[in-house]
């Protein structure tokens, strides 16, 4: 079986690779159909590490996947061969303290696809726990199924914000995750999402979503737009999804009294925050690390038509062209949001 392997920083190959294929009693074996390329895959490709996670030996890439079940373990009840599914890439120890306390995404022993030393899913077949494998309704495509993972991050962010109907949200950063935050915030009840970036192609794309006001930060100050649209009150929620330290400059000023700042992007270094400005507004600060219990909800939002992810699936490449797909995705084409690899 061939897999797309990150050999070391800067070098990917498509070559035979043996991934475990034993289907345990609670596992399913899946023929992989579509895999999205994530910012983290590209980061490992370009830098060989993300924070404490270092690629020390060849690692199969990919964690945003959809496919078809071909075999189920004897104890699996909710799936059968032939089911179209998408997979949640992080598998915690369900007996860990974090899992027992309802935060399985924070289990330190979670095994997450394509996070060293755990291999990813850019291979024709994978084995995965059935509990983290979700059936796709007939009207949800494999491509949509493979974008559920980044959408789940937006859903986690929107959930942490505790949005109320009619809230106004600001999203700083219009990368894939920022766009998913905007979609989730609107689906969660926001009347408006003010999405801010400096790449016109991305702003044009997200501006097509009903309820989005796109702001080019080279032309207008975000605080002026927020003030104008909220009668000077401020936004109920600010999602920081750029990871850019500059975004933190004056970020609390965007919030209304009692508002909530949700930290989604990961800055490269520590950033200062104006504590008194936070206190004067009794603002909440929330953060997200991946997601928990979001896949089912994300799939339902796509299936019901409340969220349309199709405009954000930009291009797809055949598995045989997987290396080219990575090079293209890494090149940062401004009109690309999600690049996917189609296996069959
Ligand atoms: Zn991802």
Q: List pLDDT tens digits, range 27-43.
A: 999 999 999 999 999 99
Query: Same structural domain for residues 162 and 200?
Result: yes
Q: Cβ distance 75 to 26 under 8 Å?
A: yes
Residue 299 located in a structural domain? no
User: What pLDDT score was predicted for residue 211?
Assistant: 98
Q: What is the pLDDT of residue 268?
A: 86
State whether 277 and 161 are in the same domain: yes
Query: String of b and e for 81-115 (b: at least 16 CB within 10 Å)?
Result: eebbbbbbbbbbeeebebbeeeebbbbeebebbbb
CA of 38 to the centre of ligand 1 (A): 4
Residue 318: CATH number of its domain: 3.90.180.10
Q: Measured at the alpha carbon of residue 45, what is the angle toward residues 40 and 46, in degrees to the nearest 5?
A: 100
Report yes or no: 257 and 282 within 8 Å, Cβ to Cβ.
yes
In a domain, 303, yes or no: no
Together in a domain, 94 and 27: yes
Per the CB < 8 A criterion, the answer to whether 90 and 105 are in contact is: yes
Whole-number pLDDT of residue 295: 98
Instruction: Report yes or no: 136 and 82 within 8 Å, Cβ to Cβ.
Output: no
Contacts of 14 (CB under 8 A, 6+ apart): 2, 3, 4, 5, 319, 320, 322, 323
Same domain as 139, residue 9: yes
- 179 domain residue, yes or no: yes
Q: If you measure from the C-alpha of residue 153 to the centroid of ligand 1, how many angstroms do you get, rounded to a whole number?
A: 9
Q: How far does the centroid of ligand 1 lie from the alpha carbon of residue 224, in Å? A: 33
Alpha helices (H) in the chain, listed in sequence order: 39-47, 97-100, 142-146, 148-161, 176-187, 200-207, 222-229, 275-280, 295-303, 322-330
Tell whether 183 is covered by a domain.
yes
Tokens matching residue 150: 């980044």
| Domain identity same for 110 and 174 | no
The tens-digit pLDDT sequence of the chain (344 residues) is 999 999 999 999 999 999 988 999 999 999 999 999 999 999 999 999 988 899 999 999 999 999 999 999 999 999 999 999 999 999 999 999 999 999 999 999 999 999 999 999 999 999 999 999 999 999 999 999 999 999 999 999 999 999 999 999 999 999 999 999 999 999 999 999 999 999 999 999 999 999 999 999 999 999 999 999 999 999 999 999 999 999 999 999 999 999 999 999 999 899 999 999 999 999 999 999 999 999 999 999 999 999 999 999 999 999 999 999 999 999 989 999 999 999 97
**CB proximity list for 113: less than 8 A, separation 6 or greater:** 62, 63, 65, 89, 90, 119, 120, 121
Instruction: State in Å: Cα 151 to ligand 1 middle.
Output: 9
Ligand 1 midpoint to CA 115 (Å)? 11
C-alpha–C-alpha distance, residues 284 and 162, integer Å: 10
| Cα 62 to middle of ligand 1, angstroms | 8
CA of 138 to the centre of ligand 1 (A): 23
* C-alpha 40 to ligand 1 mean position (Å): 7
CATH number, residue 202: 3.40.50.720
Q: How far is the CA of 18 from the centre of ligand 1 (A)?
A: 23
CA of residue 65 to ligand 1 center, whole Å: 10
C-alpha of residue 94 to centroid of ligand 1, in Å = 22
Distance (Å) from CA 112 to ligand 1 centroid: 11
Please tell me the distance between residue 34's alpha carbon and the centre of ligand 1 in angstroms: 13
Q: Residue 54 C-alpha to ligand 1 middle, in angstroms?
A: 17
Q: What does the buried/exposed string (b/e) look like for 213-230 if buried means 16 or more CB atoms within 10 Å of the residue's CB?
A: bbbebeeeebeebbbebb
230 CA from centroid of ligand 1 (Å): 33
> How much is the pTM?
0.97
Shared-domain flag, residues 14 and 136: yes
d(CA 48, CA 41): 10
Question: Do residue 138 and residue 167 come from a single domain?
Answer: no
Which pLDDT value is given to residue 344? 76
Separation of 79 CA from ligand 1 center, angstroms? Answer: 24
Q: How far is the CA of 135 from the centre of ligand 1 (A)?
A: 19
What's the CA-to-centroid distance between 258 and ligand 1, angstroms? Answer: 31
Q: How far is the CA of 234 from the centre of ligand 1 (A)?
A: 31
pLDDT at 200: 97
- Say whether both 137 and 165 belong to one domain: no
* Tokens, residue 337: 């949001």
The reply to whether 48 falls in a domain is: yes
Count of structural domains, the chain:
2
Residue 190, Cβ neighbours under 10 Å: how many?
26
What pLDDT does 56 receive? 95
Phi, then psi, of 117 in degrees rounded to 5: -95, 20
The reported pLDDT for the residue numbered 51 is 84
11 and 141 assigned to the same domain = yes
Tell whether 177 and 270 lie within a shared domain: yes
- Tell me how far the alpha carbon of residue 64 lies from the centroid of ligand 1, in angstroms: 6
Residue 340 CB contacts under 8 Å (≥ 6 apart), including other chains: 34, 35, 36, 37, 143, 146, 147, 313, 315, 316, 317
| Residue 326 DSSP label | H
> What are the DSSP calls for 255-280, one per residue?
EEEEEEEEE-S--SS-----HHHHHH
Range of the domain at 192: 153-287
Residue 176 CA to ligand 1 center (angstroms) comes to 9
Rounded to whole angstroms, the Cα distance separating 152 from 92 reads 16
Q: Are both 61 and 84 inside the same structural domain? A: yes
Q: What is the pLDDT of residue 165?
A: 98
Same domain, 215 and 142: no
How many Å lie between the centroid of ligand 1 and the Cα of residue 329?
13
């Amino acid at each position: 079986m061939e897999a797309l392997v990150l050999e070391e920083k800067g070098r990917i190959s498509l070559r035979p690779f043996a991934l475990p294929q034993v289907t345990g009693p609670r596992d399913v074996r899946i023929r992989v159909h579509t895999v999205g390329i994530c910012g983290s895959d590209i980061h490992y490709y370009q830098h060989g590490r993300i924070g404490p996670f270092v690629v020390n030996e060849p690692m199969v890439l990919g964690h945003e996947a959809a496919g078809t079940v071909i075999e189920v373990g004897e104890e699996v009840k909710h799936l059968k061969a032939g089911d179209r599914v998408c997979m949640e890439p992080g598998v915690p120890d369900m007996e860990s303290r974090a899992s027992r306390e309802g935060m399985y995404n924070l289990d330190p022993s979670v095994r997450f696809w394509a996070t060293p030393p755990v291999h990813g899913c850019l291979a024709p077949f994978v084995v995965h726990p059935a509990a983290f494998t979700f059936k796709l309704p007939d009207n949800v495509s494999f491509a949509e199924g493979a974008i559920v993972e980044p959408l789940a991050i937006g859903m986690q962010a929107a959930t942490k914000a505790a949005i109320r109907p009619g809230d106004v949200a600001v999203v700083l950063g219009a990368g894939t995750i920022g766009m998913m935050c905007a979609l989730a915030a609107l689906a969660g009840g926001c009347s408006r999402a003010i999405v801010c970036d400096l790449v016109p192609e991305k702003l044009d794309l997200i501006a097509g979503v009903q309820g989005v006001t796109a702001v080019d930060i080279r032309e207008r100050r975000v605080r002026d737009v927020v003030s104008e649209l909220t009668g000077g009150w401020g936004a109920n929620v600010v999602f920081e999804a750029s990871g850019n330290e500059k975004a933190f400059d004056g970020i609390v000023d965007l919030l209304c009294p009692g508002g909530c700042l949700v930290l989604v992007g990961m800055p490269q270094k520590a950033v200062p925050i104006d504590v008194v400005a936070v206190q004067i507004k009794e603002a909440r600060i929330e953060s997200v690390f991946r997601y928990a219990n979001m896949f089912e909800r994300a799939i339902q939002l796509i299936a019901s038509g409340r969220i349309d992810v199709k405009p954000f699936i930009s291009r797809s490449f055949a598995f045989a062209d997987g290396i080219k797909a990575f090079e293209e995705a890494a090149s940062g084409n401004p009109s690309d949001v999600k690049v996917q690899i189609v296996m069959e």
